[in-house]
Structure 1
Amino acid sequence: MRIFLLLLVLLSQTIRAEPLLYFHVGATWTYQVEGGHQETVTNRVSEIRAVNGKNWYKLIEYGEVFWVANSEKGQVEAVNFFEGNPGQLEVPEEILVFKYPAKIGETWNNNESPTTYSGLEKITVPAGSFECHSYYIDMGQGNYSKSCIAVNIGVVYNEAVLKGGAKEVSRLIKYEQKI
Protein backbone atom coordinates (compact mmCIF):
# COMPACT_ATOMS: atom_id res chain seq x y z
CA MET A 1 0.00 0.00 0.00
CA ARG A 2 2.83 2.43 0.79
CA ILE A 3 4.45 1.84 -2.60
CA PHE A 4 1.12 2.50 -4.35
CA LEU A 5 0.66 5.79 -2.45
CA LEU A 6 4.25 6.85 -3.18
CA LEU A 7 3.75 6.13 -6.89
CA LEU A 8 0.47 8.04 -6.87
CA VAL A 9 2.16 11.07 -5.29
CA LEU A 10 5.08 10.95 -7.74
CA LEU A 11 2.82 10.61 -10.77
CA SER A 12 0.58 13.45 -9.64
CA GLN A 13 3.46 15.94 -9.59
CA THR A 14 3.93 18.08 -12.68
CA ILE A 15 6.84 16.92 -14.78
CA ARG A 16 8.73 19.91 -16.13
CA ALA A 17 11.10 19.88 -19.05
CA GLU A 18 14.57 21.31 -18.65
CA PRO A 19 14.86 24.95 -19.74
CA LEU A 20 15.72 25.64 -23.36
CA LEU A 21 18.49 28.04 -22.38
CA TYR A 22 20.64 27.90 -19.28
CA PHE A 23 21.44 31.44 -18.15
CA HIS A 24 24.10 32.46 -15.64
CA VAL A 25 26.42 35.41 -15.15
CA GLY A 26 29.61 34.95 -17.15
CA ALA A 27 28.13 32.89 -19.99
CA THR A 28 29.34 34.04 -23.42
CA TRP A 29 28.58 33.14 -27.03
CA THR A 30 30.89 34.27 -29.85
CA TYR A 31 29.58 34.32 -33.41
CA GLN A 32 31.03 34.62 -36.90
CA VAL A 33 28.77 37.17 -38.64
CA GLU A 34 28.25 37.48 -42.39
CA GLY A 35 26.50 40.53 -43.82
CA GLY A 36 26.73 42.61 -40.64
CA HIS A 37 28.86 45.53 -39.54
CA GLN A 38 31.19 43.28 -37.53
CA GLU A 39 32.90 40.01 -38.43
CA THR A 40 32.60 38.59 -34.91
CA VAL A 41 30.23 39.38 -32.05
CA THR A 42 30.30 38.16 -28.46
CA ASN A 43 27.03 38.11 -26.53
CA ARG A 44 27.08 37.69 -22.77
CA VAL A 45 25.08 37.47 -19.55
CA SER A 46 26.41 40.21 -17.28
CA GLU A 47 24.03 40.39 -14.31
CA ILE A 48 21.30 38.59 -12.40
CA ARG A 49 18.41 40.08 -10.40
CA ALA A 50 15.71 38.24 -8.49
CA VAL A 51 12.17 39.63 -8.50
CA ASN A 52 9.42 37.78 -6.64
CA GLY A 53 11.44 34.58 -6.60
CA LYS A 54 12.23 34.63 -10.35
CA ASN A 55 15.77 35.13 -11.64
CA TRP A 56 16.18 37.65 -14.46
CA TYR A 57 19.41 37.80 -16.47
CA LYS A 58 20.85 40.81 -18.25
CA LEU A 59 21.71 39.55 -21.74
CA ILE A 60 23.84 41.82 -23.91
CA GLU A 61 23.13 40.62 -27.43
CA TYR A 62 24.57 42.34 -30.53
CA GLY A 63 25.05 45.51 -28.44
CA GLU A 64 21.47 45.62 -27.17
CA VAL A 65 20.36 44.87 -23.60
CA PHE A 66 17.57 42.41 -22.80
CA TRP A 67 16.35 41.05 -19.46
CA VAL A 68 15.51 37.38 -19.96
CA ALA A 69 14.33 34.48 -17.81
CA ASN A 70 13.14 30.92 -18.08
CA SER A 71 9.50 30.21 -17.30
CA GLU A 72 7.22 27.20 -17.48
CA LYS A 73 6.32 28.35 -21.03
CA GLY A 74 9.90 28.80 -22.29
CA GLN A 75 12.25 31.78 -22.57
CA VAL A 76 10.63 35.12 -21.76
CA GLU A 77 11.82 38.69 -22.12
CA ALA A 78 10.91 41.52 -19.76
CA VAL A 79 9.31 44.71 -21.05
CA ASN A 80 10.24 48.03 -19.37
CA PHE A 81 12.31 46.23 -16.74
CA PHE A 82 14.77 48.08 -14.49
CA GLU A 83 14.48 51.18 -16.69
CA GLY A 84 14.25 53.76 -13.93
CA ASN A 85 16.00 53.37 -10.62
CA PRO A 86 18.48 50.45 -10.87
CA GLY A 87 17.40 49.30 -7.41
CA GLN A 88 13.73 49.30 -8.38
CA LEU A 89 12.20 45.82 -8.20
CA GLU A 90 8.94 45.85 -10.09
CA VAL A 91 7.22 42.81 -11.56
CA PRO A 92 7.96 43.02 -15.28
CA GLU A 93 5.56 42.43 -18.12
CA GLU A 94 6.74 39.32 -19.97
CA ILE A 95 6.81 38.45 -23.65
CA LEU A 96 7.21 34.80 -24.65
CA VAL A 97 10.14 34.69 -27.07
CA PHE A 98 10.92 30.98 -27.48
CA LYS A 99 8.22 28.54 -26.41
CA TYR A 100 9.62 25.32 -25.00
CA PRO A 101 8.48 22.69 -25.26
CA ALA A 102 6.45 23.46 -28.38
CA LYS A 103 4.72 21.50 -31.12
CA ILE A 104 5.84 21.72 -34.74
CA GLY A 105 3.85 24.45 -36.46
CA GLU A 106 2.74 26.05 -33.18
CA THR A 107 2.61 29.86 -33.46
CA TRP A 108 2.41 32.63 -30.82
CA ASN A 109 2.92 36.39 -30.80
CA ASN A 110 6.34 37.66 -29.81
CA ASN A 111 5.91 41.41 -29.36
CA GLU A 112 3.34 41.48 -32.18
CA SER A 113 5.50 39.33 -34.48
CA PRO A 114 4.21 35.81 -35.10
CA THR A 115 6.77 33.20 -34.02
CA THR A 116 6.50 29.61 -35.24
CA TYR A 117 8.27 26.54 -33.91
CA SER A 118 9.66 24.58 -36.87
CA GLY A 119 10.98 21.49 -35.05
CA LEU A 120 14.40 19.93 -34.62
CA GLU A 121 17.16 20.56 -37.12
CA LYS A 122 20.81 19.45 -37.18
CA ILE A 123 23.03 22.50 -37.55
CA THR A 124 26.79 22.51 -38.19
CA VAL A 125 28.72 25.68 -37.33
CA PRO A 126 32.39 26.36 -36.45
CA ALA A 127 31.67 25.35 -32.81
CA GLY A 128 30.45 21.88 -33.91
CA SER A 129 27.28 20.04 -34.89
CA PHE A 130 24.16 20.48 -32.76
CA GLU A 131 20.58 19.21 -32.63
CA CYS A 132 18.65 22.48 -32.52
CA HIS A 133 15.12 23.72 -31.99
CA SER A 134 14.27 26.01 -34.89
CA TYR A 135 12.12 29.14 -34.51
CA TYR A 136 10.92 31.46 -37.27
CA ILE A 137 9.88 35.05 -36.41
CA ASP A 138 7.89 36.84 -39.12
CA MET A 139 8.44 40.60 -38.72
CA GLY A 140 6.36 41.53 -41.77
CA GLN A 141 7.24 43.09 -45.12
CA GLY A 142 9.61 40.22 -45.92
CA ASN A 143 11.62 40.71 -42.73
CA TYR A 144 12.25 37.63 -40.59
CA SER A 145 14.58 35.96 -38.15
CA LYS A 146 15.33 32.25 -37.90
CA SER A 147 16.95 31.12 -34.65
CA CYS A 148 18.31 27.62 -34.09
CA ILE A 149 18.85 26.85 -30.40
CA ALA A 150 20.61 23.88 -28.82
CA VAL A 151 19.27 23.01 -25.35
CA ASN A 152 21.53 24.42 -22.60
CA ILE A 153 24.00 25.75 -25.21
CA GLY A 154 22.15 28.71 -26.70
CA VAL A 155 21.62 30.15 -30.15
CA VAL A 156 23.84 28.18 -32.52
CA TYR A 157 22.67 29.76 -35.79
CA ASN A 158 20.68 32.87 -36.57
CA GLU A 159 19.62 34.21 -39.93
CA ALA A 160 17.86 37.56 -40.27
CA VAL A 161 16.57 39.56 -43.20
CA LEU A 162 15.86 43.16 -42.28
CA LYS A 163 15.84 46.66 -43.73
CA GLY A 164 15.05 46.13 -47.37
CA GLY A 165 16.42 42.62 -47.80
CA ALA A 166 19.85 42.89 -46.14
CA LYS A 167 20.69 39.41 -44.86
CA GLU A 168 22.81 38.72 -41.78
CA VAL A 169 23.89 35.22 -40.72
CA SER A 170 25.51 34.41 -37.36
CA ARG A 171 27.21 31.08 -36.68
CA LEU A 172 28.45 30.05 -33.24
CA ILE A 173 32.26 29.92 -33.01
CA LYS A 174 32.52 29.19 -29.29
CA TYR A 175 30.57 29.41 -26.07
CA GLU A 176 31.61 29.45 -22.44
CA GLN A 177 29.40 28.39 -19.57
CA LYS A 178 31.43 29.86 -16.68
CA ILE A 179 29.78 28.92 -13.44
Structure 2
Amino acid sequence: MANILGNLNRAIIIGLVLLALVIFGFHGQSLGSAWGNWMLRATHAWVGLLWIGLLYYFNFVQIPTMPKVPAELKPAVSKYIAPEALFWFRWAALFTVLLGLGIPGLSGYPLGAALTFQPGYAVIGTGMWLGIIMMLNVWGVIWPNQKRALGIVDADADTKAKAAKTAMIGSRINFVLSFPMFYCMVTQQGALA
Protein backbone atom coordinates (compact mmCIF):
# COMPACT_ATOMS: atom_id res chain seq x y z
CA MET A 1 0.00 0.00 0.00
CA ALA A 2 2.86 2.40 0.78
CA ASN A 3 4.21 1.89 -2.76
CA ILE A 4 0.90 3.05 -4.17
CA LEU A 5 -0.20 5.78 -1.76
CA GLY A 6 3.34 6.94 -0.98
CA ASN A 7 3.40 8.61 -4.41
CA LEU A 8 1.29 11.79 -4.52
CA ASN A 9 0.50 11.47 -8.24
CA ARG A 10 -0.77 7.91 -7.78
CA ALA A 11 -2.87 8.99 -4.81
CA ILE A 12 -4.40 11.81 -6.90
CA ILE A 13 -5.20 9.40 -9.74
CA ILE A 14 -6.81 6.94 -7.32
CA GLY A 15 -8.86 9.75 -5.78
CA LEU A 16 -10.02 10.91 -9.22
CA VAL A 17 -10.92 7.36 -10.28
CA LEU A 18 -12.98 6.97 -7.08
CA LEU A 19 -14.59 10.33 -7.79
CA ALA A 20 -15.53 9.18 -11.30
CA LEU A 21 -17.04 5.99 -9.89
CA VAL A 22 -19.13 8.00 -7.42
CA ILE A 23 -20.21 10.49 -10.09
CA PHE A 24 -21.29 7.83 -12.56
CA GLY A 25 -22.72 5.63 -9.82
CA PHE A 26 -24.96 8.34 -8.39
CA HIS A 27 -25.48 10.73 -11.32
CA GLY A 28 -24.67 8.73 -14.44
CA GLN A 29 -28.26 9.03 -15.67
CA SER A 30 -28.36 12.82 -15.24
CA LEU A 31 -25.08 14.24 -16.49
CA GLY A 32 -26.64 17.45 -17.79
CA SER A 33 -26.31 21.12 -16.93
CA ALA A 34 -27.23 20.50 -13.29
CA TRP A 35 -24.29 18.13 -13.06
CA GLY A 36 -22.01 20.82 -14.55
CA ASN A 37 -23.18 23.18 -11.80
CA TRP A 38 -22.44 20.52 -9.16
CA MET A 39 -18.97 19.89 -10.59
CA LEU A 40 -18.16 23.60 -10.75
CA ARG A 41 -19.25 23.99 -7.13
CA ALA A 42 -17.34 20.87 -6.05
CA THR A 43 -14.18 21.99 -7.86
CA HIS A 44 -14.55 25.47 -6.33
CA ALA A 45 -14.87 23.85 -2.89
CA TRP A 46 -11.88 21.52 -3.40
CA VAL A 47 -9.60 24.30 -4.57
CA GLY A 48 -10.94 26.53 -1.80
CA LEU A 49 -10.11 23.84 0.76
CA LEU A 50 -6.55 23.76 -0.54
CA TRP A 51 -6.28 27.56 -0.32
CA ILE A 52 -7.82 27.97 3.11
CA GLY A 53 -6.14 24.81 4.40
CA LEU A 54 -2.76 26.29 3.52
CA LEU A 55 -3.79 29.66 5.00
CA TYR A 56 -4.58 27.85 8.24
CA TYR A 57 -1.35 25.84 8.03
CA PHE A 58 0.63 29.09 7.79
CA ASN A 59 -1.28 30.72 10.65
CA PHE A 60 -1.68 27.78 13.02
CA VAL A 61 1.60 25.96 12.33
CA GLN A 62 4.35 27.72 10.37
CA ILE A 63 4.17 31.28 11.69
CA PRO A 64 3.99 30.30 15.39
CA THR A 65 6.59 27.53 15.02
CA MET A 66 9.32 29.30 13.03
CA PRO A 67 10.67 31.28 16.03
CA LYS A 68 11.20 27.96 17.84
CA VAL A 69 13.08 26.32 14.94
CA PRO A 70 16.88 26.26 15.44
CA ALA A 71 18.69 28.62 13.05
CA GLU A 72 20.49 25.78 11.27
CA LEU A 73 17.13 24.13 10.41
CA LYS A 74 15.29 27.25 9.17
CA PRO A 75 16.69 26.99 5.62
CA ALA A 76 14.84 23.68 5.20
CA VAL A 77 11.57 25.52 5.69
CA SER A 78 12.45 28.73 3.87
CA LYS A 79 14.10 27.09 0.85
CA TYR A 80 11.92 24.02 0.38
CA ILE A 81 8.66 23.86 2.32
CA ALA A 82 7.50 27.49 2.26
CA PRO A 83 8.07 28.10 -1.48
CA GLU A 84 6.19 24.91 -2.38
CA ALA A 85 3.34 25.72 0.01
CA LEU A 86 3.17 29.28 -1.34
CA PHE A 87 2.99 27.97 -4.93
CA TRP A 88 -0.13 25.94 -4.15
CA PHE A 89 -1.47 28.70 -1.88
CA ARG A 90 -1.40 31.48 -4.46
CA TRP A 91 -2.69 29.40 -7.39
CA ALA A 92 -5.44 27.86 -5.27
CA ALA A 93 -6.48 31.40 -4.28
CA LEU A 94 -6.73 32.50 -7.91
CA PHE A 95 -8.60 29.42 -9.11
CA THR A 96 -10.97 29.47 -6.13
CA VAL A 97 -12.03 33.00 -7.02
CA LEU A 98 -12.25 32.36 -10.77
CA LEU A 99 -14.33 29.21 -10.29
CA GLY A 100 -16.49 30.99 -7.73
CA LEU A 101 -17.20 33.80 -10.18
CA GLY A 102 -18.41 31.19 -12.67
CA ILE A 103 -20.98 29.65 -10.31
CA PRO A 104 -23.69 32.35 -10.70
CA GLY A 105 -23.95 31.71 -14.44
CA LEU A 106 -24.66 28.01 -13.95
CA SER A 107 -26.79 28.57 -10.85
CA GLY A 108 -29.19 31.00 -12.44
CA TYR A 109 -28.46 34.12 -10.46
CA PRO A 110 -26.77 37.24 -11.81
CA LEU A 111 -23.17 37.83 -10.81
CA GLY A 112 -23.77 41.58 -10.81
CA ALA A 113 -26.61 41.23 -8.31
CA ALA A 114 -24.30 39.40 -5.92
CA LEU A 115 -21.38 41.76 -6.36
CA THR A 116 -23.63 44.80 -5.77
CA PHE A 117 -25.40 43.24 -2.74
CA GLN A 118 -28.88 43.25 -4.32
CA PRO A 119 -31.69 41.88 -2.13
CA GLY A 120 -31.43 38.12 -1.89
CA TYR A 121 -27.75 38.16 -2.89
CA ALA A 122 -26.11 40.20 -0.13
CA VAL A 123 -24.76 37.19 1.78
CA ILE A 124 -23.14 35.51 -1.23
CA GLY A 125 -21.99 38.92 -2.47
CA THR A 126 -20.26 39.58 0.84
CA GLY A 127 -18.57 36.18 0.64
CA MET A 128 -17.50 36.86 -2.96
CA TRP A 129 -16.03 40.24 -2.13
CA LEU A 130 -14.18 38.85 0.88
CA GLY A 131 -12.76 36.07 -1.32
CA ILE A 132 -11.72 38.56 -4.01
CA ILE A 133 -10.06 40.83 -1.42
CA MET A 134 -8.26 37.84 0.10
CA MET A 135 -7.05 36.63 -3.33
CA LEU A 136 -5.79 40.12 -4.20
CA ASN A 137 -4.02 40.21 -0.83
CA VAL A 138 -2.32 36.88 -1.67
CA TRP A 139 -1.04 38.07 -5.03
CA GLY A 140 -0.47 41.76 -4.20
CA VAL A 141 0.89 41.66 -0.63
CA ILE A 142 1.69 38.19 0.69
CA TRP A 143 3.46 36.64 -2.32
CA PRO A 144 5.62 39.68 -3.29
CA ASN A 145 6.76 40.05 0.32
CA GLN A 146 7.34 36.33 0.80
CA LYS A 147 9.59 36.32 -2.27
CA ARG A 148 11.79 38.90 -0.56
CA ALA A 149 11.56 37.31 2.89
CA LEU A 150 12.50 33.85 1.59
CA GLY A 151 15.32 35.10 -0.64
CA ILE A 152 13.58 34.12 -3.88
CA VAL A 153 14.18 37.76 -4.86
CA ASP A 154 17.39 39.45 -3.76
CA ALA A 155 16.96 41.74 -0.76
CA ASP A 156 19.14 42.93 2.10
CA ALA A 157 18.55 41.69 5.67
CA ASP A 158 16.46 44.71 6.72
CA THR A 159 14.23 44.43 3.64
CA LYS A 160 13.80 40.68 4.26
CA ALA A 161 12.78 41.26 7.87
CA LYS A 162 10.30 44.00 6.92
CA ALA A 163 8.91 41.85 4.08
CA ALA A 164 8.47 38.88 6.42
CA LYS A 165 6.46 41.03 8.85
CA THR A 166 4.34 42.51 6.04
CA ALA A 167 3.65 39.03 4.63
CA MET A 168 2.70 37.77 8.08
CA ILE A 169 0.29 40.67 8.64
CA GLY A 170 -1.20 40.07 5.17
CA SER A 171 -1.64 36.42 6.04
CA ARG A 172 -3.28 37.30 9.35
CA ILE A 173 -5.66 39.68 7.57
CA ASN A 174 -6.72 36.82 5.29
CA PHE A 175 -6.99 34.52 8.30
CA VAL A 176 -9.38 36.98 9.98
CA LEU A 177 -11.39 37.52 6.77
CA SER A 178 -11.67 33.77 6.20
CA PHE A 179 -14.15 33.39 9.08
CA PRO A 180 -16.91 35.65 7.68
CA MET A 181 -16.06 34.63 4.10
CA PHE A 182 -16.53 30.94 4.89
CA TYR A 183 -19.75 31.64 6.79
CA CYS A 184 -21.19 33.58 3.85
CA MET A 185 -20.25 30.87 1.37
CA VAL A 186 -21.69 28.03 3.46
CA THR A 187 -24.93 29.76 4.44
CA GLN A 188 -25.73 31.51 1.17
CA GLN A 189 -28.27 28.86 0.07
CA GLY A 190 -30.59 29.64 2.97
CA ALA A 191 -29.79 33.33 3.26
CA LEU A 192 -32.57 35.87 2.89
CA ALA A 193 -30.42 38.99 2.91
Q: TM-score with structure 1 length normalisation?
A: 0.23
The structure carrying a bigger strand percent of its residues is 1
Q: TM-score with structure 2 length normalisation?
A: 0.22
Q: Which has the larger radius of gyration?
A: 2
